[in-house]
């Protein structure tokens, strides 16, 4: 990145801190930077008066007062700087973190979010201030502002020096600038090394999470892999940080050498001035002023160790942020989060783009879908065609690994098919906008998320873009069979579903499944038109499952329901059943039609029925038949 552009980016970050605090800090920095020059001038004046004073020190009272005022001002300004820095840094970093979170949330598809490079970039921009190697945009912006103030201070000290010994200015400034350039380059390398270790650092973070998380705690204890995981944390930290530490050691050694480059001319200059005093060529007052002003120039230009580290450390963060903004910055929620969605077809006959008038308007159509997970050559779905009609209950069955969940992920726009298209009311969902399309869907994933929040929040998260709607929540809870549980919870809807929170409880697998169903049904009652359930009853007892299925048959909110289940006794009541095999729909029809067809579905059903009569579980056997 060009030098100037990077610097401007850092200064641009100051806008998040507000004009008042940045203005106050700039003034404080500038005054503080000018203190060495002012004290050099005041000191020279004072010593000159003291030397000339014949009738006591009274004639030096004024310069003495001036010197004291300068010192006091320095103290006052320095005291104000720290709180101002804190304010500016926290505001900049707060705005930065909020933007990182919203960009990560805006990544529309899982393949982008799972891309290791995107994950690295997100980790890099997270800039953890608790880790001394990481610099935040706040650190960088403050350092850049301070550096500008240092140059103001250097100019002031140089002006004082010019009045007494102008030749000392280049003697001090040139080596100081060279030393600074060398250090800046070193810090660029340091920041690059840190960025290269981000992936290893992410692995260490993952293992750290495994060691600390109560959810993993069960297995970690039973399987006894705690020590092993701690070892992995250490390995990850060493792999990511050892090169940084090694370079840092070199940097400190080199900084001693660059300090010498700057110090030697200062010492020579000082010796020359001291010699002039002893020869009577100049006065002690001049010598004092030159010494103080020279030190001012030396410190202002040369002593920029901290700034270089903060500036060069923060720049990669801002660069990665700019990349993320380019990739994901455009809103995937056109019209804002509380927009009103355009109405969808309610099943009346309509005209298709090809001009034909279908007997029944398809709500959703997947045609010619082929898809392989990124980085894998083998397609999971290949030539899949499927229509989801308005208000129907469509069951999707198939053996393990035949692509049922993958089909749902494509339908939800989490991955893009490699070939084929998905349309809603004849419009390609990419044209609708994935964000807008996702608002019409409600999905219970097989690996649903258990949020450490109250029951109410766990349910209303089902639609985060409309204001919480308590009547929709109650309705969803009733349909999901959650009412019994709610009546028994210590604080009803407000009970946190996490043992780690005060008053919190943990739920059984089946109870969690009911909460998650309520979440999905809440989405339906607040606008979603397609309800997708991937194994929603795996943890439910037979009676709860039967009751739930009865309620699904009533089509909550008149939504279409897509149900994935291995329990054929459950799905037999669906309007239509499709069997996936070989990456496509192999059989399709009602239960009776598929039994008459006497294909794979009928064979699976017979096996389950036999198991049922023999008292075994009634799930599809995962072995190929
Ligand atoms: N994120 C992923 N990356 C790569 N391959 C994946 C990913 N997720 C699933 N697969 C592979 O895709 C195939 C289909 O998986 P999918 O989860 O869709 O099957 P399924 O029919 O839902 O299985 P089950 O009945 O066991 O839930 C499997 O071979 C699986 O290994």
DSSP-derived secondary structure for 62-116: HHHHHHHHHHHHHHHHHHHHHHHHHHHHHHHHHHHHHHHHHHHHH---HHHHH-H
Atom of ligand 1 nearest to the CA of 535: 27
Residue 101 sits in the same domain as residue 169? yes
The reply to whether 281 falls in a domain is yes
Measured in angstroms, how far is the CA atom of residue 385 from the centroid of ligand 1? 19
Residue 490 sits in the same domain as residue 579? no
Measured in angstroms, how far is the CA atom of residue 401 from the centroid of ligand 1? 5
Q: What is the CATH number of the domain that holds 92?
A: 1.20.1560.10
Task: Mark which of 477, 508, 528 sits at the end of a domain.
Answer: 528
Q: Which amino acids bring their CB within 6 angstroms of ligand 1?
A: 373, 376, 380, 398, 400-406, 446
Identify whether the C-beta of residue 562 lies closer than 8 Å to the C-beta of residue 408.
yes
Q: Which residues pair with 427 in a beta bridge?
A: 424
- Min mean pLDDT across 335-339, 377-381, 469-473, 494-498 is at 335-339
**What is the C-alpha to C-alpha distance for residues 421 and 296, in angstroms, rounded to an integer?**
69
Of the two residues 569 and 589, the one the predictor is more confident about is: 589
Determine the pLDDT at residue 522: 94
How far CA 227 is from CA of 220, 233, 234, 266, 557, in Å, comes to 9, 10, 11, 55, 51
ipTM for the whole complex? 0.97
pLDDT tens, residue by residue, 431-490: 888 888 888 899 999 888 889 889 999 999 998 888 889 999 999 999 888 999 999 999
Task: Mark which of 281, 312, 327 sits at the end of a domain.
Answer: 327
Determine the pLDDT at residue 614: 54
Atom of ligand 1 nearest to the CA of 566: 25
Residue 182 sits in the same domain as residue 106? yes
Measured in angstroms, how far is the CA atom of residue 447 from the centroid of ligand 1? 12
Q: Which two tokens stand for residue 223?
A: 């399987």
Q: Which two tokens stand for residue 431?
A: 């044209």
Q: Name the residue with the closest Cα to ligand 1, atom 1.
A: 373
Measured in angstroms, how far is the CA atom of residue 601 from the centroid of ligand 1? 20
Mean pLDDT for the stretch of residues 378-391: 93
Measured in angstroms, how far is the CA atom of residue 403 from the centroid of ligand 1? 6
**What is the C-alpha to C-alpha distance for residues 302 and 264, in angstroms, rounded to an integer?**
13
Q: Name the residue with the closest Cα to ligand 1, atom 10.
A: 373
DSSP state at residue 573: T
Task: Look up the domain containing 479 and give its range.
Answer: 446-528
Residue 166 sits in the same domain as residue 57? yes
- Min mean pLDDT across 24-28, 54-58, 578-582 is at 54-58
Measured in angstroms, how far is the CA atom of residue 574 from the centroid of ligand 1? 24
The reply to whether 35 falls in a domain is yes
Select from 384, 405, 447 the residue to mutate for testing ligand 1; criterion: most ligand atoms less than 8 Å from CB: 405
The reply to whether 259 falls in a domain is yes
The reply to whether 401 falls in a domain is yes
Identify whether the C-beta of residue 265 lies closer than 8 Å to the C-beta of residue 172.
yes
Atom of ligand 1 nearest to the CA of 403: 18
Q: Name the residue with the closest Cα to ligand 1, atom 2.
A: 373
**What is the C-alpha to C-alpha distance for residues 322 and 161, in angstroms, rounded to an integer?**
43
Q: Which helix (H) or strand (E) holds 452?
A: none
CA nearest neighbour of 437 among 406, 411, 463, 465? 411
Measured in angstroms, how far is the CA atom of residue 347 from the centroid of ligand 1? 32
Q: Which two tokens stand for residue 20?
A: 């008042």
The reply to whether 277 falls in a domain is yes
**What is the C-alpha to C-alpha distance for residues 366 and 364, in angstroms, rounded to an integer?**
7
**What is the C-alpha to C-alpha distance for residues 462 and 117, in angstroms, rounded to an integer?**
30
The total of structural domains in the chain comes to 3
The reply to whether 202 falls in a domain is no
Residue 114 sits in the same domain as residue 46? yes
Strand pairing category for 393-397 and 560-564: parallel
Residue 181 sits in the same domain as residue 308? yes
pLDDT band at 555 (very low <50, low <70, confident <90, very high): low
HSE-CB at 102 with a 13 A cutoff on CA atoms is 12
Residue 434 sits in the same domain as residue 377? yes
SS3 340: coil
The reply to whether 506 falls in a domain is yes
The reply to whether 228 falls in a domain is no
- Quickly count: other Cβ atoms within 10 Å of residue 618's Cβ: 18
| Res. 173: pLDDT tops 70 | yes
- Quickly count: other Cβ atoms within 10 Å of residue 593's Cβ: 13
Residue 132 sits in the same domain as residue 100? yes
Backbone angles phi, psi at 623, to 5 degrees: -75, 140
Residue 563 sits in the same domain as residue 485? no
Residue 412 sits in the same domain as residue 281? no
**Burial of residue 377, with CB atoms counted within 10 A of its CB: 0-12 exposed, 13-18 middle, 19 or more buried:** exposed
- Min mean pLDDT across 108-117, 131-140, 338-347, 366-375 is at 338-347
What's the mean per-residue pLDDT of the chain? 82
| Res. 253: pLDDT tops 90 | no
Q: What is the CATH number of the domain that holds 475?
A: 3.40.50.300
Residue 118 sits in the same domain as residue 69? yes
Mean pLDDT for the stretch of residues 369-373: 94
Q: Which helix (H) or strand (E) holds 425?
A: none
Strand pairing category for 560-564 and 427-428: unpaired
DSSP state at residue 343: P
Residue 319 sits in the same domain as residue 177? yes
Task: Mark which of 282, 306, 327 sits at the end of a domain.
Answer: 327
The position carrying tokens 């009546």 is 487
Strand pairing category for 427-428 and 530-534: unpaired
pLDDT tens, residue by residue, 335-363: 333 333 333 443 333 333 333 333 333 58
């Amino acid at each position: 990145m060009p030098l100037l552009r990077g610097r401007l980016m850092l200064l641009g970050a100051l806008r998040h801190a507000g004009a008042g605090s940045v203005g106050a800090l700039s003034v404080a920095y500038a005054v503080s930077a000018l203190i060495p020059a002012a004290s050099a001038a005041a000191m020279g004046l004072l010593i000159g008066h003291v030397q000339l004073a014949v009738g006591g020190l009274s004639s030096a009272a004024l310069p003495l007062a001036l010197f004291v005022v300068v010192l006091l001002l320095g103290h006052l300004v320095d005291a104000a700087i720290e709180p101002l820095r804190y304010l500016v840094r926290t505001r900049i970093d707060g705005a930065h973190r909020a933007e990182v979170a919203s960009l990560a949330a805006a990544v529309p598809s899982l393949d982008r979010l799972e891309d290791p490079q995107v994950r690295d970039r997100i980790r890099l921009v997270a800039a953890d201030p608790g880790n001394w190697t990481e610099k935040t945009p706040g650190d960088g912006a403050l350092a850049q502002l301070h550096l500008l103030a240092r140059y103001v201070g250097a100019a002031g000290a140089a002006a004082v020096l010019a009045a007494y010994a102008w030749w000392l200015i280049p003697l001090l400034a040139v080596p100081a600038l060279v030393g600074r350039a060398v250090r800046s380059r070193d810090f660029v390398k340091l920041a690059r090394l840190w960025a290269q270790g981000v992936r290893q650092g992410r692995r260490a973070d993952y293992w750290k999470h495994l060691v600390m998380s109560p959810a993993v705690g069960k297995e970690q204890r039973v399987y006894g892999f705690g020590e092993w995981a701690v070892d992995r944390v250490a390995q990850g930290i060493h792999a990511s940080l050892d090169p940084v530490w090694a370079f840092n050691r070199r940097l400190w050694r080199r900084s001693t050498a660059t300090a010498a480059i700057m110090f030697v001319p200062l010492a020579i200059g000082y010796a020359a001035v001291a010699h002039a005093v002893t020869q009577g060529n100049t006065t002690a007052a001049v010598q004092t002023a030159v010494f103080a002003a020279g030190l001012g120039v030396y410190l202002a230009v040369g002593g920029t160790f901290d700034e270089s580290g903060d500036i060069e450390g923060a720049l990669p963060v801002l660069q990665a942020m700019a990349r993320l903004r380019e990739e994901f910055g455009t809103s995937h929620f056109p019209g804002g989060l509380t927009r009103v969605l355009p109405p969808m077809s309610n099943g009346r006959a309509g005209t298709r783009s090809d001009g034909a008038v279908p007997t029944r308007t398809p709500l959703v159509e997947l045609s010619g879908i082929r898809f392989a997970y990124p980085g894998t050559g083998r397609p999971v779905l290949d030539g899949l065609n499927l229509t989801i009609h308005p208000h129907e209950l469509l069951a999707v069955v198939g053996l393990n690994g035949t692509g049922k969940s993958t089909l749902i992920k494509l339908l939800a726009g989490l991955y893009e098919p490699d070939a084929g298209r998905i349309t809603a009311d004849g419009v390609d969902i990419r044209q609708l906008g994935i964000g807008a399309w996702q608002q019409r869907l409600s999905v219970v994933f097989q690996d649903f998320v258990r949020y450490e929040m109250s029951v109410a929040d766990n349910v209303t998260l089902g639609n985060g873009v409309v204001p919480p709607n308590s009547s929709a929540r109650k309705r969803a809870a009733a349909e999901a069979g959650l009412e019994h549980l709610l009546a028994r919870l210590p604080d009803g809807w407000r009970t946190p579903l996490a043992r780690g929170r005060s008053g919190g409880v943990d739920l059984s697998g089946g109870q969690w499944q009911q909460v998650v169903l309520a979440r999905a049904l809440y989405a339906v009652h607040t606008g979603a038109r397609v309800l997708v359930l991937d194994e929603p009853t795996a943890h439910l007892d037979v009676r709860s499952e039967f009751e739930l299925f009865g309620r699904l048959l009533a089509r909550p909110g008149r939504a279409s329901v897509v149900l994935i289940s291995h329990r054929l006794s459950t799905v037999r009541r669906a309007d239509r059943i499709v069997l996936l095999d070989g990456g496509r729909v192999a059989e399709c029809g009602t239960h009776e039609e598929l039994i008459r067809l006497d294909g794979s579905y009928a064979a699976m059903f017979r096996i389950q029925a036999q198991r049922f009569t023999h008292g075994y579980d009634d799930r599809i056997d995962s072995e190929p038949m």
